[in-house]
Structure 1
Amino acid sequence: MRIDFTKMHGLGNDFIVLDGREGALPPLDAAFAAALADRHTGIGCDQLIVLHPSDRADFRMRIYNADGSEVEACGNATRAVGLLHGRPARIETLGGIITSSPAQGGISVEMGTPSFDWDAIPLAFAMDTQAMPVAWEALVNPVAVNVGNPHVIFFVADPYAIDMARLGPMIETDPLFPARINVNVAAVTARDAITLRVWERGAGLTRACGTGACATAIGAMKRGLVDRRVTVTLPGGPLKIAWREDGEIVMTGPATESFRGSFDPADFGIAL
């Protein structure tokens, strides 16, 4: 059998989207996702996105990292799926129900409300998540926040001076983070501007991370470093993040469809 796919990206954070909202897809597992994501022998992506029917929302979105692990939320993928859908939508994820809608500058996504409780991140033991008394070499006293998935944020003078290829996986897999963690290094450059790099758990160093931009903006706001509307600039480009008075995080940015195609799972050694 052949399976149709759409290749998309949000600021260079790229996805393979399989649409099973109207037709059944074959069973998916970590090996299937990792085989498709491989950039040498597969189609290649940071995340595999699979859409299913939902009895709670307009449809359900499952998100698999390049290593095959399934995660709760992905802001860039939500914008891509919102573009594919073409109209406002309520989307069920493992991190809860979020909404997307067309907006000036791309797609706007209501990402839900952040959690700062240590056991909601989760951390291995209780501590102040607004100024964690921990350090990894020069990265010290981060903020931890869950915005549908877990993030730790370090505020530094220059994010591009940090060896993320080495420190990212070290922090991601530290026993302090039993569900692993997304690692953000950020510099506040103005009351409405942040520069950010992100090491995503299960995907590595990415050109953009929507939930990372949200988490970093919220962490900076909680510390009083920025106002409640900021532009977060990642290697792939800028995202606009607002934290509304009702607690909802709103992210707005572009999404792009790259191409469409189909594949035979057997071509990638996937037995169905």
Structure 2
Amino acid sequence: MNTETQPLHFYKYQGAGNDFILVDNRSLFFNSDDYEAVSKLCDRRFGIGADGLMLLQSHPEFDFEMVYYNADGMPGSMCGNGGRCIVAFAKQLRLIDRETNFLAVDGPHYAKISPEGNWVELQMINVNQINRDGEAWVLDTGSPHYVLQTQGLDTLDVYSEGKAIRNNETYGAKGINVNFVEDFGDHLFVRTFERGVEDETYACGTGVTAVALAHAAATGKHGHISTPVKVLGGNLRIDFDHHHGQFTGIFLCGPAELVFTGTR
């Protein structure tokens, strides 16, 4: 398909304010190598507007395959909220019912979805390594993340502070996603600068997952842990088990909503 000249039927989803363009590409009509077209579709002034674009494709060993692109048009690493949204999309397409196993760039994922299709609990990859960079924690939850605790997060210049860390000499051209977290006792408040979007987003699924794990490491919490997280776009929850620096059974839980459909 030439994405510039032929009509494209798309679905717009959001998960806690993290928004995505979804395309049913089981027939492989969408030219997935046309990175410029993806970038134009994600543009908020001249396109549909989104934090990223996902293709749902067939796979012989899974219910479907998730192919993800950042807003800059380039193929991205794992997107947690995108994963939750594509599960809701698969349910809408009647590919799945209450559970699914699908393939993403970081490997297989299991997820379960509410009967109404608006709440998704997505299993993330296990995390066996967590490092320090000064006062910050650094770990990979399907995408690489930098986690720094702060205060007064509601007024922090996340764009400037996050951009500087994302582009510093330590992380180079590849960069890193930067998360700032404030602990309110009964929940964590998180704001994230995302590489690929190159801006603050309303939510980042792999980011809040990284924050929850880093918080458990920093506070010495072990066993089964459930961490409520507030983001600019709403509320999420991360459930996991922590034993001796090993994080398993990690689930990113939250809403996934169809916003609208259209043809471009």
Counterpart amino acid of residue 129 in structure 2? F
1:225 deviation in Å?
A: 6.1
Match of 2:234 in 1: 237
The one-letter code sitting in structure 2 at the alignment partner of 1:76 is N
Give 1:19 shift: 1.0
Give the SS at the match of 1:239.
Answer: strand
Q: Work out whether residues 89 and 101 of structure 1, in 8 Å CA contact, stay in contact via their aligned partners in 2.
A: yes
Query: With structure 2 as the length reference, what TM-score do the two structures score?
Result: 0.86
Asked whether the 8 Å contact 1:13–1:208 carries over to 2, the reply is: yes
SS in 2 for 1:222: helix
Which letter maps to 1:160?
Answer: D
Equivalent runs, 1:16-165 vs 2, <5 Å: 16-22=21-27, 24-86=29-91, 87=97, 88-103=99-114, 106-116=119-129, 129=131, 131-133=132-134, 141-165=135-159
3-state SS in 2 of match to 1:71: coil
Unpaired runs of 5+ in structure 1?
Answer: 118-128, 134-140, 264-272
Q: Which amino acid aligns with 1:35?
A: K
Alpha-carbon distance, 1:57 to partner? 2.0
Q: Which residue of 2 aligns with 1:171?
A: 165
Q: For the residues of structure 2 that align with 1:145 and 1:235, how far apart are their CA atoms?
A: 22
Instruction: Give the secondary-structure state (helix, strand or coil) at the position aligned to 2:219.
Output: coil
Q: Please state how far the C-alpha of 1:103 moved relative to its aligned partner.
A: 3.6
How far, CA to CA, are the matches of 1:210 and 1:225 in structure 2?
A: 23
Whole-Å separation in 1 of the counterparts to 2:101 and 2:169: 35
| Residue 5 of structure 1, CA deviation | 0.5
Which amino acid in the other structure matches residue 34 of structure 1?
S
Length-normalised TM-score, structure 1: 0.84
Q: How does 1:237-256 map to 2 (within 5 A)?
A: 237-244=234-241, 247-256=248-257
Q: Distance in 1 between matches of 2:90 and 2:233?
A: 23
**Structure 1 runs of 4+ off > 4 angstroms?**
none
1:145 and 1:19 mapped to 2: Cα distance? 32
Q: Does residue 11 of the first structure (1) align with residue 23 of the second (2)?
A: no
Name the SS of the counterpart of 2:164 in structure 1: helix
1:137-196 deviation digits (Å, cap 9, x = unpaired): xxxx10001000100000112222321111111111223124311100001111x51111
Paired residues of 1:112 and 1:249 also in contact (CA < 8 A) = yes
Distance 1:224 1:4 in 2: 47
Paired letter, 2:254: G
Report deviation, 1:94: 1.2
What's the offset of the Cα at 1:80? 0.9
Letter in 1 for 2:41: L
Q: Aligned residues: percent identity?
A: 28
Q: How many residues align?
A: 243
C-alpha distance after superposition, 1:46-99 (max 9, x if no partner): 111111122342211111111112212111111111111122221211111112
Distance 1:27 1:149 in 2: 21
Q: 1: distance between equivalents of 2:16 and 2:202?
A: 7
Give secondary structure in 1 for the equivalent of 2:87: helix
Inter-CA distance 163–225: structure 2 relative to 1 (3 Å threshold): farther
